[in-house]
Structure 1
């Protein structure tokens, strides 16, 4: 199998052949009818399928996805950021998302919608033409990878917008323009089906190594399936899926790293303070580690494969008071918690932008950064499992699976912080402790907004930083271009409140 970086050379060809819509006005009406890839003009062998699949992976690196806007739609939208210094940047579009005044004409919503559906389109083409691959093992692997990526995209869509078009095959422009907004339940059912296929170890390896690190695995699919069940509040299904992952499927593969700083750093970590990073001279490309199940990989030494410094959380003054280490009265970290240092700001060199220590890096000669974007890591699996167990049946005994999983994550960074059963005396208190631990563990990892939605605490928590919202604000507006294209309020309505 070709390594992923080599395959990326071919993306320009793929982009033309698959009618990539970057820069086009709308994903729904820009695919030329009769040229959606279903004619077989491009797909002739397994190499074509492999290139097409890598093109889908490459989309995750886009600015409208995990390079930038996914952070804006989640971390910035949440209460992890208390303020937003650059109010005029990007014509105020980003700031308006932070303060919940953005409307359906905001270009950022359109970009995220478009790029996400473009990725789905690429996955659909891989799945539709998968029979071209004659190697049965490779055929299952490629299909499972495409299904994982498609499920991830639809999971983001359904959490951002609710009802949405559910497109599972390549369609012509006319067919796409006739799509309606499918119900949330139907989208989740499709997501579950894709992830059940991808999480089967007969279809997808448990781990990739070497040059293929970064591909989706069956363990990543199982973790994502657990997260999907959790978001649906299918507690028993989540407990079963995540329990199998932890107790059976994962054996010997993923684990918590002893030092959380090493999960993220592009350099060996000694103390994780800003001065440690600034004085370190041996920066190297970030690599996958045993805590990461899936992440979006960037390479600052390859043109176009790196990223810019994200200014959303570069200035610690913008962080919620809960993360300001100088504010002892409100900071949620104990002074001995290793995670606290990761929320400091630093510069790699005098010419570098500010970055949180969590994402510490210095620019390459191409003026790019190379830190990766974690999507699924083992700490998340453990805390999701604790949440599912607690919701199924409250148990605060010393042998409680929920308590053990919660304390595994907590004591990794705060050795003296283990909870006792007496401290978590009822289900509500236990639930609150889990969500607090998630906030301590995952700031600026695109988790908080979705946690606020799942817990039902978004309205209350946003009010604490002076942002007043109502239930309509829990979904984003559907891009106006999509609504006006249909001009059918019955089949393709705008979300309430917009």
Structure 2
């Protein structure tokens, strides 16, 4: 997948993507589209380009950067305030004036660019597919992948913004300018329909050359999380949480992944983030990256939680004068000294022998995904894959469903937590684990993987937990008091201004 899909897609993006990254971009000229979709290879390249936008983004940032900036940085894992003016400070400090924030805008525009491409691909398959594709299976699998990518992007959008415009076909700027924000429940109808239609036609697995294309079980992991999010407390806002009792539906989708026998719980923690591709049986849904090639398509997401002195301590060239996003004290205190997750994923002391950053440091920073052996041609070019969902996550999400009455037993929950603790090298003494304890274990297991903000929301205690954290950590009084409206991000200002009166801003934002 790394070379097969993303290298082919990189050149195509310039040909198939409008220069304007706004939602109301004009579609490509009819002549260009018609001339392009003429061979099976053209459709493959269009599919690859859709993957690239959905996963790697339409610019500097991709999905991995997004969840680290909008989920990890906003959570109680990091106290990411600064004396300088940085986009991520407004995220961490819950500013109400972030509707023009770079990270907020990227989440909106990249997802809609990918949705546009998925819609276009589906339409062209319907129009030309029977004549172009040599086998029906090629056609149906491509339709399934396009449906998955559209669902993936819409789910990402409603988790950040709540109500969003529902656009399920290509349209002109004039047409788009009349589409208001749809209720979340309506967007969910498309998400669930797309996933349910896609899953039967997706392959259970791919060979190494196609690693990274979504499988049947990658799509099931997303559908399971969709049902869990719909079932979460609403907080009285128009968010992705609908308070539905669909834990049993989620459990079934996740249990199908377990029952497939294609995945395995890694025996050790650190190799999960070092072993790539098909060899890593924790990979359920993964975004691959490659470095050191003529046209690099490496990632840069690990710098989002990095720190320049730490990079210098492992002999990596300058990453751009990265300021630290310090790990919160309360989070650090959760770990036992021998916890392998802390040892593998957090640098607590490091030394720079010479140069600008010469000295010894004790500021804790995340290092889980920082692998010098996969560093390419600079900060934008790391060959480190990002796991959207790994098998341990599937098991622990199943445990969460069980505690909500969705299936399984308390003994299953305890066994999963003890399995996780045993691998971490800490006492496996879980008995009658409850939801609070499960979320604490998830916090230690999945830090710097972009899950914490969503875990907080599903817990139903996000506002209480974050305000308690703020009081304990925010000695500089830089973080606003969190309220229910803080659980959504603002609609980007550019969208509000594009057609005055079409969209109302989310409550609580300037």
Q: TM-score range by the shorter chain?
A: 0.7 to 0.9
CA offsets, 1:102-147, max 9 Å, x none? 4212233222211111111111122222242342111121111122
Give the RMSD, CA atoms, in angstroms.
Answer: 2.8
Q: Given the alignment, which residue of 350, 356, 359 partners 2:369?
A: 359
Taking structure 1 as reference, are residues 317 and 4 closer, same or farther at Cα in structure 2, changes over 3 Å only?
A: closer
Taking structure 1 as reference, are residues 6 and 390 closer, same or farther at Cα in structure 2, changes over 3 Å only?
A: closer
CA offsets, 1:418-476, max 9 Å, x none? 4123xx4xxxxx11121111101100111001111111222222221334211111110
1:100 partnered with 2:130: no
Taking structure 1 as reference, are residues 456 and 42 closer, same or farther at Cα in structure 2, changes over 3 Å only?
A: same
1:393 shift after superposition: 6.3
Alpha-carbon distance between aligned partners in 2 of 1:352 and 1:444, rounded to the nearest angstrom: 27
1:140 partnered with 2:140: yes
1:378 partnered with 2:391: yes
Match of 2:251 in 1: 239
CA offsets, 1:349-372, max 9 Å, x none? 989999734113226452232222
Q: Given the alignment, which residue of 74, 78, 84 partners 2:71?
A: 74
Taking structure 1 as reference, are residues 20 and 412 closer, same or farther at Cα in structure 2, changes over 3 Å only?
A: farther
Alpha-carbon distance between aligned partners in 2 of 1:486 and 1:72, rounded to the nearest angstrom: 28
Alpha-carbon distance between aligned partners in 2 of 1:32 and 1:222, rounded to the nearest angstrom: 31
Number of aligned residue pairs: give it: 449
Match of 1:416 in 2: 427
Taking structure 1 as reference, are residues 350 and 417 closer, same or farther at Cα in structure 2, changes over 3 Å only?
A: farther
1:36 shift after superposition: 9.6
1:259 partnered with 2:285: no
Unaligned segments of structure 2, at least 5 residues: 232-245, 308-323, 358-363
Aligned 8 A contact 1:299 1:369 in 2? yes
1:34 shift after superposition: 5.2
Alpha-carbon distance between aligned partners in 2 of 1:7 and 1:99, rounded to the nearest angstrom: 38
Q: Which aligned pairs between 1:102-121 and structure 2 lie closer than 5 A?
A: 102-121=97-116
- Stretch moving more, 355-364 or 385-394: 355-364
- Stretch moving more, 474-483 or 171-180: 171-180
Q: Secondary structure at the match of 1:375?
A: strand
Taking structure 1 as reference, are residues 309 and 54 closer, same or farther at Cα in structure 2, changes over 3 Å only?
A: closer
- Stretch moving more, 64-73 or 162-171: 64-73
- Stretch moving more, 130-139 or 473-482: 130-139
Taking structure 1 as reference, are residues 343 and 84 closer, same or farther at Cα in structure 2, changes over 3 Å only?
A: farther
Match of 2:3 in 1: 5
Aligned 8 A contact 1:309 1:355 in 2? no
Q: Given the alignment, which residue of 301, 313, 321 partners 2:305?
A: 313
Q: Which aligned pairs between 1:396-435 and structure 2 lie closer than 5 A?
A: 400-414=411-425, 416-421=427-432, 424=433, 430-435=434-439
Unaligned segments of structure 1, at least 5 residues: 267-284, 325-330, 425-429
Q: Which aligned pairs between 1:23-422 and structure 2 lie closer than 5 A?
A: 24=20, 26-32=21-27, 35=30, 40-59=34-53, 60-62=55-57, 63-85=60-82, 87-88=83-84, 91-101=85-95, 102-131=97-126, 132=129, 133-200=133-200, 203-233=201-231, 234-247=246-259, 250-251=260-261, 253-265=262-274, 289-302=280-293, 303-308=295-300, 310-315=302-307, 318-324=326-332, 331-345=333-347, 356-362=366-372, 364=375, 366-367=377-378, 368-392=381-405, 400-414=411-425, 416-421=427-432
Aligned 8 A contact 1:452 1:458 in 2? yes
CA offsets, 1:149-190, max 9 Å, x none? 211111110000000011122222222222110110111121
Aligned 8 A contact 2:251 2:407 in 1? no
CA offsets, 1:295-328, max 9 Å, x none? 111112134311336444224770011343xxxx
Alpha-carbon distance between aligned partners in 2 of 1:154 and 1:447, rounded to the nearest angstrom: 17
Runs of 4+ displaced beyond 6 Å: 346-355, 393-396
Q: Secondary structure at the match of 2:36?
A: coil
Match of 1:497 in 2: 508
CA offsets, 1:398-435, max 9 Å, x none? xx3333333333333235324123xx4xxxxx111211
Alpha-carbon distance between aligned partners in 1 of 2:224 and 2:218, rounded to the nearest angstrom: 10
Taking structure 1 as reference, are residues 163 and 205 closer, same or farther at Cα in structure 2, changes over 3 Å only?
A: same
Taking structure 1 as reference, are residues 360 and 481 closer, same or farther at Cα in structure 2, changes over 3 Å only?
A: closer
CA offsets, 1:211-242, max 9 Å, x none? 11111000111111111111111212112222
Aligned 8 A contact 1:323 1:343 in 2? no
1:334 shift after superposition: 2.3
Taking structure 1 as reference, are residues 322 and 300 closer, same or farther at Cα in structure 2, changes over 3 Å only?
A: farther
Aligned 8 A contact 1:4 1:54 in 2? no
1:332 shift after superposition: 1.0
Match of 2:238 in 1: none
Aligned 8 A contact 1:36 1:171 in 2? no
Aligned 8 A contact 2:251 2:406 in 1? no
Alpha-carbon distance between aligned partners in 1 of 2:31 and 2:404, rounded to the nearest angstrom: 45
Match of 1:272 in 2: none
Taking structure 1 as reference, are residues 364 and 390 closer, same or farther at Cα in structure 2, changes over 3 Å only?
A: closer
Aligned 8 A contact 1:297 1:372 in 2? yes
Match of 1:486 in 2: 499
Alpha-carbon distance between aligned partners in 1 of 2:345 and 2:355, rounded to the nearest angstrom: 21
